Amino acid sequence: MTETAIVNGLTIIFISLGVIFSLVTALGLIRLPDVYTRSHASSKSATLGVLGILAGTFIYFWLAEGHMNSRLILAIIFLFVTSPLSGHLIGRSAYISGVQPTDLTEHDALKQVIAEKKRKQ
């Protein structure tokens, strides 16, 4: 009785954490001003959101159904490695193809470097 309560509690905590973070990511994509700040939201909160949902699913099937699914663990590890990488690549390609950061941006160390590189080509 208490065991199922603990299992259900853990599952609820993990999955609701994941859902909340995913929701906040979506809100962030609407509210933040430019590509770079949006990529902050999408590369961090989204990772944790999906991670939480996968971990919750894993815990539920492992403890409540007695079925340990190692694919979920693999999926968590893959996500962990690939999602900050995709955030970096999107930001980088946006910058190189000339997408301007918002006017709020105070200081830009990369501008000259990219300009220099373009001039050389």
Partner 1 sequence: MAFQILLNFFLALVWMFMSVSFTSATFIIGYLLGLFLLILMRRFFNERLYLFRIWAVISLFFLFMKELFLSSVQVFLLILKPRMNIRPAIFEYDTVLKYDWEITLLSLLITLTPGTLVLAVSDDQKKLYIHAIDADDIDDAVKSIQDTFEKAILEVSRT
Q: How far is the CB of 2 from partner 1 (least distance, A)?
A: 28
**Tokens (6 digits) for 5:** 């309560």
Site for partner 1 in 56-75 (CB under 8 A): none
Among 11, 15, 43, 72, binds partner 1 (CB under 8 A): 43
**Does residue 14 touch partner 1 according to CB under 8 A?**
no
41-to-35, 49, 119 alpha-carbon distances in Å: 10, 11, 33
Give whichever of 31 and 118 is closer to partner 1, judged by the CB atom.
Answer: 31
Among 47, 54, 58, 72, binds partner 1 (CB under 8 A): 47
Of the candidates 90, 89, 25, which has an alpha carbon nearest to the alpha carbon of residue 51? 25
DSSP 63: I
Among 13, 19, 75, 91, binds partner 1 (CB under 8 A): 91
> Nearest 10 degrees: CA dihedral of 63, 15, 5, 74?
10
Give whichever of 37 and 64 is closer to partner 1, judged by the CB atom.
Answer: 37
